[in-house]
């Protein structure tokens, strides 16, 4: 039995990742919406990694490490969001000036 790397599932996941990246870059008005798009992108990458780990390669340890790092990234993003909302009162990127001390 022969496996091919280009299948309809991989094409679908690659197109979804490209759409998430375009949406992530183009619309950055609220920090919460940006973090949700980033989590969607990480979820799509996790799907691709699980797909390749199941059918093509045997690297399940990397899947667990990637899942752990994505959970840490989500927790860090939510902590940053809470800190910014407490400091500035809202999560708009226009009101946040990173040049002020």
Q: Could you tell me the residue ranges of all domains in the chain?
A: 8-88
CATH number of 8-88: 1.10.287.3510
pTM for this predicted structure? 0.70
Residue 93's pLDDT is 65
User: CB neighbours of 14 closer than 8 A, spacing ≥ 6?
Assistant: 48
* 41-83: pLDDT as tens digits: 888 888 888 888 877 777 778 888 888 888 898 899 889 888 8
Residue 100, pLDDT > 50, answer yes
Q: Given pLDDT bands bounded at 50, 70 and 90, which one contains residue 99?
A: very low
Residue 44's pLDDT is 81
Q: Are 91 and 32 in contact (CB under 8 A)?
A: yes
Residue 59's pLDDT is 77
């Amino acid at each position: 039995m022969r496996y091919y790397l280009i299948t309809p599932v991989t094409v679908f996941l690659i197109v979804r990742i490209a759409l998430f990246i375009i949406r992530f870059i183009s619309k950055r008005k609220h920090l919460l919406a940006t973090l949700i798009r980033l989590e969607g992108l990480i979820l799509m990458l996790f799907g691709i990694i699980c797909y390749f780990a199941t059918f093509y390669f045997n690297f399940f340890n990397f899947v667990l490490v990637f899942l752990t790092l994505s959970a840490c990234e989500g927790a860090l993003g939510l902590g940053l969001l809470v800190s910014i909302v407490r400091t500035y009162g809202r999560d708009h990127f226009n009101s946040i000036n990173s040049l002020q001390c």
